Structure 1
Amino acid sequence: MKKLITTLVSVVLTMTVLTACGGKNSEAPSGSEGSSSKAITVRLGVFKNITHAPSYVALDKGYFQKEFGDNVKIEVLSFDNGSEFSTALATGEIDLGTVGPGPSTNQYVKSKNFRVVSGSNNGGAVLVVGKDSGITDVKDLVGKTVAIPTKGSTNEISLRLLLQQAGLKVTDDSTGVQIIARAPADTLIAMRQKEIDATLIPEPWGTQMEQEGIGSILVDWNKIPPNNGDYPLSIMVASDKFIKEHRDLVKAAIKANLQAIDFIEKSPDEAYASINNQLKELTGKAMDVELIKAALARCHITSDVSKEAIEEMAKVSIEAGYIKDITVDTLDLSEFVDLSMLEEVKSEK
C-alpha cells in the first residue's frame, strides 16, 4: 500500500511538472513562434472608396489570407466615414484596417489605444466647384457653402488649411465660408441640384462630378494641403490589444499591404479589376473601369507616412474644436505613429 501511494505521488508530481513546462508554450507571447497556432478571426475595417485601393487589392488577390495563414478567418467590416471606423477600433469592434488621419487622430487623443503601423495612400481628394457657381479662385468661396464627407474628417482639415492659405475664415454666415457635412453620395446629388457651391471630396467622387459635367476641379489633388497632396489620406492602423496579442499578424497585414501597393504599380489594369470586384462586394454596385483609372491617377499609393503632416492636421483639429482638453503646445503624437513593424517587414525582404 505504501509503495502504491509513493507511485501515485510520483505520477502526480511528474504530470504537474509536464503541465507547468507545457504551459509556457500554450500561452506563448504574441509575435513568438506558434502564437497564431489556433484558429482566430481578424476583423478588418475598410472604406467604400478608391482611396483605400491597396486594401481592396490585398483582399481580392488573397494577400491578406496568404500572409495570415489558413488558420485565420478574415471578417471584413465596411465603413462610410472615419469617425465610425475610429470608434469601432477604439472600442474593440475591429482589430485593424485603413482610415484617414483626421478622425483617427481625434479618437486617439481620447482613447490612446491604437496606432498607425503603415501608410496606404497619400492624397486623392480634390476641391470641386459647381458648374455655374461662378467660383474661379479659392477666395471666391466667401459666402459660399462647401461640403465635406463628415465633420472632423481629413478632407475637412485639408479644406480648412486651404482656406487659411487664402486668408479666409470658416463662419456660419456670409462673411466667411460655411462648411456642411454630407456623405459623398449625397454630395453628388446636392451638386447636381445646385444645393451646394463646392466640395472637398475624396476620389472617385470628384472625377465623377467632372465627368458628369456638373462640376469642375478648382484645386487638383496635388495642390491640396498639407504638402501639396503628399499627405496621408489612408493609413493602416491597429489596436494596441491586437498588436500585443498578435504582432505577427499585424506584420502580415503590413506585408499584404505592401504587396498590394506593388501590384497596383506594376499591374494597374489588373488592379482596376480587383478594386472593382471589392467595390461591388462592399456596395453591391460595380464602377466604370475608366472612372477607377482616372480616380487612381489622383492618388499616390504608398506605404510612406509623414508624421509631420499628421501633426499639422492634428493642430487644425485642435483649433477647430475637434480635439478637446489639449493645446497645440501640449500635443504629443510620438506613440501614435509607430512604424517599427513596417521597418521590420521591409528589412526582412
Structure 2
Amino acid sequence: MRKYVGLLLTLVFVLILTACGGNNTGGSSNKEQVTVKLGIFKNVTHAAGYIALEKEFLQKQLGEHVKIDVQAFDNGSDFSTAIATGQIDLGYVGPGPSTNQYLKSSNFRVISGADNGGAVLVAGKDSGVSTVKDLVGKTIAIPTKGSTNEISLRLLLEQEGVKVTTDTSGAQIVARAPSDTLVALRQNEIHATLIPEPWGTQIEQEGIGKVIVPWDQIPPNNGDYPLVILVASDKFIKEHRDLAKGAVKANLEAIEFIGANPDESYKLINKRLSELSGKGLDIELIKAALSHMRLTSDVSQEAIEEMAKVSIAAGYIKDVTAESLDLSKFLDLSLLEEVKSGK
C-alpha cells in the first residue's frame, strides 16, 4: 500500500512541476512564438531604430519568444504600402508618404516620434544658386515624389515666393535617389537638392555643393518637425498591444542611449547601416549628421497636418480637402503616454 501511495505522490509532484513550467525554463518558453516584421530605412535619420536593434533594446522589450524580421526600405511609399497591406507590422517612416497612405487605408497609426529634422537644402558648386530665390528656372531634386523632403521643399519655396512649375518661370522638382543626386549635382544636371542627412554633409565635404539652408531653418517649424516616426498597423496593436508598447519603450531607450553614449552609438549606427545597405560611412560623417537633427519621441500633430495640406495642394492626396482633413485618429500616442508615465 505504501508503495502505491509513494508512486501516486511522485506522479502528482511531476504534474505540478509540468504545470508550473518546470526545469527553470522561464515563462517566455511557454508563450506562443511570434514573428514581428519591422520596416526601417537605409538612412542615418533612422538612428533610433538602429540602436534599438543593435543594443537589443527591442528584443529585450518584446521577449525571447519573439523573432524580429527586419526589412529595409529605400523610400516611404514602398514602406507605407507594405504596412497597409500587412507585409510589415511596424517600423520607422516619414510622415509625408505615411499620411498619404493612411488617408487611403486608415489601418495603421503613429505610436511615437523618433527624429525631428535632419534635412538640408544643398546647391551645386557651379549652379549659381546661393539663396532660395535663385532657384527660379532651376531644377531641384528630392529623394522621392510625395516624400517629407518634397513637402519641406514646397513650403520653403512658398515662403520665399518661388513657384513650383514645369518651365523656367519657377522651380522644377524631380525625384532622384540620394546616391544619384550626388552624380547629377556633379554633372550639373540638377542645381540643388533638399536631402536628408548625411547626404547633405557628404555633398559639402566632397566639394560638390554647399548647404544654403541648414536643417534648423527647413520648414515647418525651423527643422523641429517630424522627419521619422514610429508607426504600427491596427491589427498589430489590437493583437499584440504589449509588443507595440515594448517597441515604444525600446525606441525611447535608444534615443536616451544615443544622447548618453554618442561615440559608441556612431559605431553601432554604422554597423547596422552597413548590414542594411552593404556600405558604411565615415564615422565623422555620421557624427556630423546626428548633430543636424533632434532625436525625440515627441510628435507634433499640427506639423503633420500642415505637411498633409501641402500634399493635398500638390495632388498627392486626393478626395480630401484641406478643410475636411482629419488626422486625429492617425496619431495614437496612448502607448507613449503609458510608457512615459511608468505604466
Whether the TM-score (by the shorter chain) exceeds 0.5 is yes
Matches within 5 A, 1:160-309: 160-309=154-303
Task: Give the TM-score, by structure 2 length.
Answer: 0.91
Secondary structure of residue in 1 paired with 2:341: helix
Task: Give the TM-score, by structure 1 length.
Answer: 0.89
Distance (whole Å) between structure 2 residues aligned to residue 129 and residue 206 of structure 1:
10
Q: Which amino acid aligns with 1:246?
A: H
Distance (whole Å) between structure 2 residues aligned to residue 146 and residue 37 of structure 1:
52
Distance (whole Å) between structure 1 residues aligned to residue 305 and residue 31 of structure 2:
38
Give the deviation of 1:82 after TM superposition.
Answer: 0.3
Distance (whole Å) between structure 2 residues aligned to residue 270 and residue 39 of structure 1:
32
What does residue 22 of structure 1 align with? none
Matches within 5 A, 1:67-146: 67-146=61-140
Q: Check if 1:150 corresponds to 2:149.
A: no
Secondary structure of residue in 2 paired with 1:329: coil
Gaps of 5+ in 1: 1-32
Secondary structure of residue in 2 paired with 1:348: coil
Give the deviation of 1:137 after TM superposition.
Answer: 1.1
Distance (whole Å) between structure 1 residues aligned to residue 215 and residue 58 of structure 2:
29
2:304 to 310, 330, 334: 310
Distance (whole Å) between structure 1 residues aligned to residue 281 and residue 129 of structure 2:
29
What does residue 334 of structure 1 align with? 328
Gaps of 5+ in 2: 1-26
Distance (whole Å) between structure 1 residues aligned to residue 106 and residue 327 of structure 2:
10
**Aligned pair count?**
316
Q: Which amino acid aligns with 1:186?
A: D
Runs of 4+ in 1 over 2 A off after TM superposition: none
Give the deviation of 1:180 after TM superposition.
Answer: 0.1
Distance (whole Å) between structure 2 residues aligned to residue 116 and residue 310 of structure 1:
11
Give the deviation of 1:234 after TM superposition.
Answer: 0.1
What does residue 44 of structure 2 align with? 50
Distance (whole Å) between structure 2 residues aligned to residue 184 and residue 91 of structure 1:
27
Give the deviation of 1:120 after TM superposition.
Answer: 0.1
Q: Which amino acid aligns with 1:180?
A: V
What does residue 66 of structure 1 align with? 60
Distance (whole Å) between structure 2 residues aligned to residue 188 and residue 61 of structure 1:
32
Secondary structure of residue in 2 paired with 1:196: coil
Give the deviation of 1:293 after TM superposition.
Answer: 0.3
Q: Which amino acid aligns with 2:49?
A: S
Secondary structure of residue in 1 paired with 2:87: coil
Q: Which amino acid aligns with 1:183?
A: A
Q: What's the RMSD between the two structures over aligned residues? A: 1.1
- Deviations along 1:120-149, one digit per CA (max 9) or x if unpaired, are 000000000001111111000000000000
- Deviations along 1:51-96, one digit per CA (max 9) or x if unpaired, are 1100001101111101110000000000000000000000000000
What does residue 20 of structure 2 align with? none
Give the deviation of 1:311 after TM superposition.
Answer: 0.2
